């Protein structure tokens, strides 16, 4: 297949390129900027089989007013331009796979794809608006699959690149009270899951890209110390996280307990269903 990836320069995009190329697919990068013409986007999209949209500024950071505008524009305006270009394609891609995040859910319930308990804060609204933009492509006859990512863990970047260094120095510890649930996915399962959606053409709509076993921050901290053979007596109190990251601290402190019901019902199997299995692989890769 010819697969176009919008946002291929990031942690997930690079992994998708390597994985899909190894499966002998033609993978093409698409960059959409504010001055990109419809014609230039159509030129890349036309006659492709699939487009994967990952574009968006990094959600982890301090959210100033200007950065919040960037978080929205880098997702919503890019996706608008993408779906608009589809209407001009002579032979548009049959499938759009669009990123989203479990931040769309509230922090007070357990969630699968049938959950009606969506959040109403900035991050939840951003995710819901982004999904709505992508789902507009259904009116063009394109199959749309939404991947709601949990925290993505892997050996060579992403969240682990920020978490591991202090733990290796013996400075690791819980964040906040440690009771917040973390819904996560190993990078390898993420790219496998994306291809699973592409290949199973009867699938469409919302899919939680999280393992079947979310973990609380405190248990995750203890397990990381065990695998790295380091103490975990330090802690980062909520007030300090809030001081450093402001409103963006919700990414680290809010609880998200999310389950991949639809992926599992469709027959997808996780290679790294538990945090222990993921840590074992990540530590092994870094030895």
DSSP codes, 133-148: HHHGGGGGT-EEEEEE
Query: Tokens representing 47?
Result: 């006659």
Do 82 and 51 form a contact (C-beta atoms < 8 A)? yes
pLDDT reported for residue 244 = 80
- In the predicted model, is pLDDT for residue 287 greater than 80? no
Residue 23 CB partners (closer than 8 Å, separation 6+): 195
Judge whether residue 53 has pLDDT over 90.
yes
- Could you report the per-residue pLDDT of 59-117, keeping only the tens digit for each? 988 899 999 999 999 999 999 999 999 999 999 999 999 999 999 999 999 999 999 99
For residue 115, what pLDDT is reported? 97
286 has pLDDT over 90: no
- The residue with tokens 């440690």 is 178
The confidence score (pLDDT) of residue 248 equals 86
Q: What is the pLDDT of residue 61?
A: 83
Higher pLDDT, 218 or 244: 218
Q: Cα separation of 182 and 152, whole Å?
A: 11
pLDDT tens profile 126-179: 999 999 999 999 988 899 999 999 999 998 888 888 888 888 888 888 999 999
Query: Which are the contacts of 114, defined by CB distance < 8 A and separation ≥ 6?
Result: 261
- What pTM does this model have? 0.95
Average pLDDT on 1-12 reads 94
Sorted by where each starts, the structural domains of the chain and their CATH numbers stand as 2-216+245-286 (3.40.50.720)
Query: Distance between CA atoms of 260 and 256, rounded to whole angstroms?
Result: 13
C-alpha separations of 287 from 154, 155, 235, 236, 282 in Å: 14, 11, 26, 27, 9
Backbone dihedral region for residue 209 (phi beyond 0: left; psi -120 to 50: alpha; all else: beta): beta
Can you tell me the distance from the alpha carbon of 58 to that of 72, in angstroms, rounded to the nearest whole number?
A: 11
Range of lowest pLDDT (157-171, 177-191, 215-229): 157-171
Q: Tell me the percentage of the chain whose pLDDT exceeds 90.
A: 80
């Amino acid at each position: 297949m010819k697969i176009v990836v919008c946002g291929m320069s990031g942690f997930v995009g690079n992994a998708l390129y390597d994985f899909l190329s190894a499966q002998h697919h033609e993978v093409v990068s698409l960059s959409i900027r504010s001055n990109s013409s419809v014609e230039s986007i159509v030129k890349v999209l036309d006659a492709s089989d699939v487009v994967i949209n990952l574009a968006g500024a990094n959600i982890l950071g301090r959210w100033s007013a200007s950065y919040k505008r960037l978080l929205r524009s880098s997702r919503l305006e890019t996706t608008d331009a993408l779906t608009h270009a589809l209407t001009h394609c002579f032979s548009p891609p049959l499938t759009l796979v669009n990123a989203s995040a479990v931040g769309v859910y509230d922090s007070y319930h357990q969630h699968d794809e049938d959950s009606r308990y969506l959040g109403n804060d900035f991050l939840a609204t951003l995710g819901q608006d982004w999904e709505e933009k992508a789902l507009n492509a259904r009116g063009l006859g394109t199959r749309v699959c939404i991947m709601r990512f949990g925290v993505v863990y892997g050996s060579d970047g992403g969240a682990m690149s920020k978490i591991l260094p202090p733990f290796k120095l013996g400075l690791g510890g819980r964040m906040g009270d440690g009771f917040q649930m973390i819904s996560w996915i190993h990078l390898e399962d993420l790219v496998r899951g994306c291809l699973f959606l592409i290949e199973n053409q009867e699938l469409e709509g919302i899919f939680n890209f999280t393992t079947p076993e979310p973990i609380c921050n405190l248990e995750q901290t203890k397990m990381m110390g065990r695998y790295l053979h380091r103490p975990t007596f330090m802690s980062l109190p909520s007030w300090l996280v809030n001081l450093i990251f402001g409103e963006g601290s919700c990414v680290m402190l809010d609880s998200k307990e999310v389950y991949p019901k639809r992926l599992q019902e469709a027959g997808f199997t996780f290679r790294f269903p538990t945090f222990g299995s993921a840590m074992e692989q990540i530590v092994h890769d870094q030895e």
